[in-house]
Amino acid sequence: MTENRLKSHHEPLIHITKRDDVGLGKSMLIHFVGILIALVISAVLIWTITGSNPLQIFKSMYEGVVGTSIANSGINKKYMESVHIMAMLLCISLAVTPAFKMKFWNIGAEGQVLMGCLASAYCMIEFGGKVNDTVLLLIMVVLSVLVGALWALIPAVCKAFWSTNETLFTLMMNYVSMTLVSYFIMVKDRSGRSDLGIINERTEYGYLPEFLGRDYLSNILIVAAVVVFMFIYLKYSKQGYEISVVGESENTAKYIGINVKKVILRTVAISGAICGLVGFMIIAGDKHSIKPSIVGGQGFTAIMVSWMAKFNPLLMIPVAMLIVFLSVGSKFATSAFRIDNSIGDILTAIVIFSIIACEFFTRYKINFRGVKKGGKS
């Protein structure tokens, strides 16, 4: 009765087993090799598709980010610009992190930042020149932070009280905020343009002053303060501890008597408030203008930064640096070499993909057929 049912099988070619926790050194080595492989793949791709010398392109990327200082002045505008872009991305990443640690998937940072921008722009137009400029800046900060927090609280309230899905909700809120900004522009400027141009260009009301004569330095310092705050808040404060407990296990939180609803609302409000602060910095310290696309997708990129850094505020600094290096550098290089700028996106994707793939190799080991360990006695 046993036809060929009992045909013998081969041992599987590869099988995957879990490995011990790898040490920091080995983990860094794996990531280093990962990035190296990514660069080699990118180089081959660039060479086959565009025919340009990949090394030249990498060099050009580096120049595009770091720039060259203007002779004798010591001021390197491009460098500061890159650091500023990095700082904004970092700050949004920090903003989404407390919510993420609580497993509240806030993917509405883009909209929360934009609402902060809107609040600041509104103040600049409405109160510019009517109040003392310091007072104006204060009003702008407070209102931006409040609006950002409130915008984030809408989905949080629904989640806390009616268990709605926060991922979809926060995502949709992004589009609502963009439409609101379009509407605002239409009301303020009936000429039909898609942005308002530079607000208070002549008077500079509501402009964040330069610090030590450097562009963007005020913004960068604010972000540095947020980094320190967030690191301490998450690691050493009681509220940070509550966030971890709620995120790890809601049942445990209830068991020890944490008011889970309260923690959800408070944490998401903080998340939104920092997004609002970023909005203020974009308007008052950089763009001085508003349009629906002003955040430029950084609210989404920040989600990736937060995850790749495993929600560690300090690790987010190198991750944000890498991502900004890739995006700014590739933009510069592709225009310098007159190649399609999609190449830059492809390059970025390859590097990020390989870093994420490294996670797999830090957790699992691959065993090949024939290589057996542990003999039989």
Partner 1 sequence: MNSNVAIELRGITKTFGNVVANKNVDLVVNRGEILSILGENGSGKTTLMNMISGIYYPDSGQIFIDGNEVVIRSPKDAFDYKIGMIHQHFKLVDIFSATENIILGLKKDGKFDIKAATQKVREISEKYGFDIDPVKKIHEMSVSEKQTVEIIKVLYRGADILILDEPTAVLTPQEAEKLFAVLRRMRDDGKAIIIITHKLHEVLSLSDKVAVLRKGEYIGTINTADATESSLTEMMVGKKIELNIERSEPVNTQDRLIIKDLKCVNREGVTVLDDINFTARSGEILGIAGIAGSGQRELLEAIAGLQKIQQGEIEYHNPKTGLVENLKDKTPIQIRELGVRLSFVPEDRLGMGLVGNMDIVDNMMLRSYTKGKSLFLEKKGPKDLANHIIDELEVVTPSANTPVRRLSGGNVQKVLVGREIAASPTVLMAAYPVRGLDINSSYTIYNLLNEQKQKGVAVIFVGEDLDVLIELCDRILVIGSGQITGFVDSRHTTKEEIGLLMTKSHGGEQND
- Which of positions 292-331 make contact with partner 1 (CB under 8 A)? none
Give the nearest distance from C-beta 366 to partner 1 in angstroms: 13
Between the two ends of the chain, the Cα-to-Cα distance in Å is 38
Q: Does 371 bind partner 1 (CB under 8 A)?
A: no
- For residues 241 and 360, which CB has a smaller minimum distance to partner 1 in the complex? 241
Q: Tell which residue, 258, 278, 347, has the closest CA to residue 120.
A: 278
Instruction: Find, among 108, 247, 85, 78, the residue nearest to 172 by Cα.
Output: 108
Report the alpha-carbon distance of residue 324 to residue 131 in Å, rounded. Answer: 37
Compare residues 76 and 244 and give the one whose CB is closer to partner 1.
244
Instruction: Please report whether residue 241 would count as binding partner 1 according to CB under 8 A.
Output: yes
Q: Which of 76, 244, 312, 362 binds partner 1 (CB under 8 A)?
A: 244
Per-position b or e across 243-275, b if 16+ CB within 10 A of its CB: bbbbbeebeebeeeebebeebbbbbbbbbbbbb
- 286 CB-near residues (< 8 Å, 6+ apart): 84, 88, 216, 219
Decide if residue 341 touches partner 1 (CB under 8 A).
no
- Are the C-beta atoms of 129 and 193 separated by less than 8 Å? no
Window contacting partner 1 (CB under 8 A); options: 146-154, 189-197, 230-238, 317-325: 230-238
**How far is it, in rounded angstroms, from Cα 253 to Cα 261?**
11
Which residue number, 139 or 246, has a Cβ lying nearer to partner 1?
246
- The answer to the question of residue 27 lying near partner 1 (CB under 8 A) is no
For partner 1, what does the binding mask look like between residues 252 and 271, x meaning CB under 8 A? x-xxxx-x------------
Residue 22 has φ and ψ, to the nearest 5°, of -80, 150
* Binding of partner 1 by 8 (CB under 8 A): yes
Q: Per CB under 8 A, does 25 bind partner 1?
A: no
- 360: contact with partner 1 by CB under 8 A: no
Strand pairing partners for 366?
A: 16
Residue 103 contacts partner 1 per CB under 8 A: no
Q: Does 3 bind partner 1 (CB under 8 A)?
A: no
Q: Which residues bind partner 1 (CB under 8 A)?
A: 5-6, 8-12, 15, 17-21, 236-239, 241, 244-245, 248-249, 251-252, 254-257, 259, 367, 372-377
